[in-house]
Amino acid sequence: MCRLEKIDNYRWQIPQSYKSEMNVPGLIYASQSLIPPILKDKALEQVANVASLPGIVRYSLAMPDIHWGYGFPIGGVAATDPENKGVISPGGVGYDINCGVRLMRSELTAQDIKPSMENLVNSLFKTIPCGIGSKGDIKVSDKEEEKIFLKGAGWAVKEGYGIKEDLDYTEDRGCMEDADPSKVSDRAYERGRKQSGTLGSGNHFLEVQAVEEIYDEKSANILGLFKGQVTVMIHSGSRGLGYQVCDDYVKSMMYCLNKYHINVPDRQLACTPIESPEGKAYLSAMRCAANYAWANRQCLMHLTRLVFEKVFEKSWEHLGLHLVYDVAHNIAKMERHNLDGKEKLLCVHRKGATRAFPPRHQDLPENYKEIGQPVIIPGDMGSYSYVLTGTQLAMDDTFGSTCHGAGRSLSRSAAIKQCSGRRIDRELFDKSGIIVRAKGRSTLAEEAPEAYKDIEEVVEVVHKAGISKKVARMKPLGVIKG
């Protein structure tokens, strides 16, 4: 069992002495009661393994929603220094590149939409393609796909799927620079060609919510949130294209281990120096997939606006369906951070972790600089979701990172087995009045509420640890899934 040393009520350390290969300690954010479920799988062993990466600085970090993943744990954060043989690892980004969350607000209240709720959910389910391998009406040529890779959400806006203001409230304005379409394989191109504006399957969802609690009135006012308000949360990523990009480069990275004489305790941590040709190629391809994901969520928001217009017979502008923020949680980015009193350019891997930049950070929208970056934390389809803001402590201690969700407590196969024969959609409606529509019963089983940790406890950890600050809590009203 991995050695854990308690630092305080919300931080635990894996000492560097635990494994001879570790270059830095491991640091886990968790409460006492979250430790037992975290210890159930090998996620902490993965935290220790990540600490062996060449060029890793300060800590191998894990958020309270940590659980076992490919190479890196989901909920893992690691920064590497390119000036000190720092590496890039596809396992530190994940297969669903730029899986992320987009939150929309409205001028509607829960009471306003109550009579139309079933019609609204059914219309969303009918309009928005979802499920494994789902394909949408937005089909593009190879040439247009290149433009998506280069322009991201900006491509979608230019094509009429939104407005320029949407880009202001998207991380990186919905586009990472230095994407190179030539580094994306033909197979990845093929998989992405028909999937713009599709939700996908698994834990991806679109959820209609109501703001139930406001913790920080000032921040909520700036974000345009109020009690009783209807919000919409979209959780999706780069679909089959991102998966293929990761798969292509994971295989090629295996050869880099020998080529660059890199030793890692787990071959799923296959990596290459950031400044190597292979490292630059992966980053360029990853950025293409990230931009595709931002375009995808932009298109999904556009489709959502159209559905609301049809159901409520008013323009989306009149309904106030504006974007609060869009943030990624599976990505690697070159960012400037303070390290030992010096500003350094580091490669920050966030896998199942959300950026949480502090007030006054230059990358934030002008009107959010007073409060810090919005942090959007979805729960499972039967529990609350949260809006928080980033803090200076996060910037100092976690490379500006926080949790990304509740985190699984059961594997998908275990959840399906445990929920065998049950009607999860009916249970959610009978218990909480939540209307759920999904392509398959197995999806609902693997995403059942008991498959996840307690989102309230996870959020409380990051709030009390000071790496993000609670602003609002939303409850689900209706959900569509693949």
State how beta strands 385-390 and 468-481 pair. antiparallel
How would DSSP label each residue in 196-211?
Answer: BT---STT-EEEEEEE
Helix (H) / strand (E) containing 387: strand 385-390
Measured between alpha carbons, how far is 335 from 327 in angstroms, rounded to an integer? 16
Q: How far is CA 403 from CA 56, 353, 399, 465, in A?
A: 20, 5, 12, 12
Measured between alpha carbons, how far is 425 from 6 in angstroms, rounded to an integer? 40
Edge-to-edge strand ranges of the sheet holding 56-67: 5-8, 11-14, 26-29, 56-67, 74-80, 342-351, 330-339
Six token digits for residue 311: 């159901």
Our answer to whether residue 404 is catalytic in this structure is yes
Six token digits for residue 268: 């799923």
Sequence length of the chain is 482
Q: Are 316 and 308 within 8 A, CB to CB?
A: yes
Residues near 208 by beta carbon (within 8 Å), at least 6 away in sequence: 113, 117, 120, 121, 124, 230, 231, 232, 476, 477, 478, 479
Helices (H) and strands (E) in the chain, counts: 17, 19
Backbone φ, ψ for residue 170 (5° rounding): -120, 135
Measured between alpha carbons, how far is 194 from 294 in angstroms, rounded to an integer? 15
Measured between alpha carbons, how far is 133 from 76 in angstroms, rounded to an integer? 28
Q: Are 333 and 290 within 8 A, CB to CB?
A: no
Helix/strand/coil for 119: helix
> Catalytic: which of 204, 235, 404, 463?
404
Residues annotated catalytic, as ranges: 404
